[in-house]
């Protein structure tokens, strides 16, 4: 929940920037330029593995719910920095570099599990203008991402800490975005990305799902851009 709140706050800052930017739109838009961005997002993995059973109780000790806390190699939260070159406000060529961390759902007080990885994601986008000067665009893109230093980390109150390293991996991704270019410097992107990747453990864990960890997922993200 804390990650979601932080990303919602980041999105609010982005939309506030857009409101201000709309008051200062330049008369003549640039067609070719570089832009840089900071992106925050949160997502869901398509394959979740049950790790710990849990029971919820009220203040009187009555059981109010139970289930299994699960982890995925996809989804979680991420932070990226990006660089893109825009061509005629019709094409975008660029890449993201970021940090991703999946976590238990629901999160537990006595146990923590994280699946962390770094990524480098070159992407090509086709941009469709929504107004005369293309201050607003719909972007559709595809690319091929590379994922580095994947690691599964466990911290259990009764058992201590453990970790498992995975091999680097790669896979395709596809995205759709709404972008507002705003004034001379500030813009904002809201996007949805699907990615396909899997991770192979360097040392055999002995659990089929963890030895070949499915990292497919979908992310919702907000990017604040400067140019």
The yes-or-no verdict on residue 15 having pLDDT over 80 is: no
Q: 226: buried, middle or exposed (CB in 10 Å: 19+, 13-18, 0-12)?
A: exposed
**CA nearest neighbour of 128 among 144, 141, 139:** 139
CA distance 75 to 79: 12
Q: Tell which wins on pLDDT, 70 or 132.
A: 70
pLDDT (mean) for 3-14: 56
Q: Tell which wins on pLDDT, 63 or 118.
A: 118
pLDDT at 181: 86
> Would you say 193 and 221 are in contact if contact means Cβ atoms under 8 Å apart?
yes
Q: How far is CA 223 from the centre of its chain?
A: 11
Average pLDDT over the chain reads 86
pLDDT, tens only, 188-209: 999 999 999 999 999 877 777 8
Model-level pTM? 0.85
The yes-or-no verdict on residue 118 having pLDDT over 90 is: yes
Contacts of 27 (CB under 8 A, 6+ apart): none
The yes-or-no verdict on residue 106 having pLDDT over 90 is: no
pLDDT, tens only, 26-36: 555 678 999 99
Residue 221 to residues 25, 26, 176, 179, 224, Cα–Cα distance (Å): 24, 27, 11, 12, 10
Question: What architecture is the 2-226 domain classified under in CATH?
Answer: Beta Barrel (2.40)
pLDDT at 16: 59
DSSP 133-196: T-SEEEEEEEEEEEEEEEEEEEEETTTEEEEEEB--EEEEEEEEEEEE--SSSEEEEEEEEEE-
| Structure confidence at residue 113 as a pLDDT band (50, 70, 90) | very high
CA distance 12 to 7: 9
């Amino acid at each position: 929940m804390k990650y979601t709140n932080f990303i919602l706050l980041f999105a609010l800052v982005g939309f506030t920037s857009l409101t201000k930017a709309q008051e200062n739109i330049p008369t003549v838009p640039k067609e070719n330029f570089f832009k840089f961005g900071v992106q925050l997002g949160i997502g869901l993995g398509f394959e979740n593995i049950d790790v710990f059973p849990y029971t919820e109780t009220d203040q009187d000790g009555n059981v109010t719910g139970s289930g299994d806390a699960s982890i995925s190699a996809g989804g979680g939260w991420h932070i990226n920095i990006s660089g893109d070159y825009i061509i005629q406000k019709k094409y975008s060529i660029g890449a993201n570099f970021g940090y991703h961390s999946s976590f238990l759902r629901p999160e537990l007080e006595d146990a923590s599990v994280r699946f962390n990885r770094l990524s480098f994601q070159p992407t090509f986008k086709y941009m469709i203008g929504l107004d005369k000067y293309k201050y607003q665009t719909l972007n559709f893109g595809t690319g091929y991402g590379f994922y580095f230093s994947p690691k599964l980390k466990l911290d259990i109150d009764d058992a201590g800490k453990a970790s498992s390293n995975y091999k680097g991996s790669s896979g395709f991704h596809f995205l759709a975005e709404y972008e507002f270019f705003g004034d001379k410097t500030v813009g904002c992107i809201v996007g949805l990305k699907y990615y396909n990747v899997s991770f192979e453990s360097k040392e055999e864990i002995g659990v089929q799902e963890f030895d070949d960890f499915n990292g497919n997922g979908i992310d919702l993200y907000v990017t604040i851009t400067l140019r």
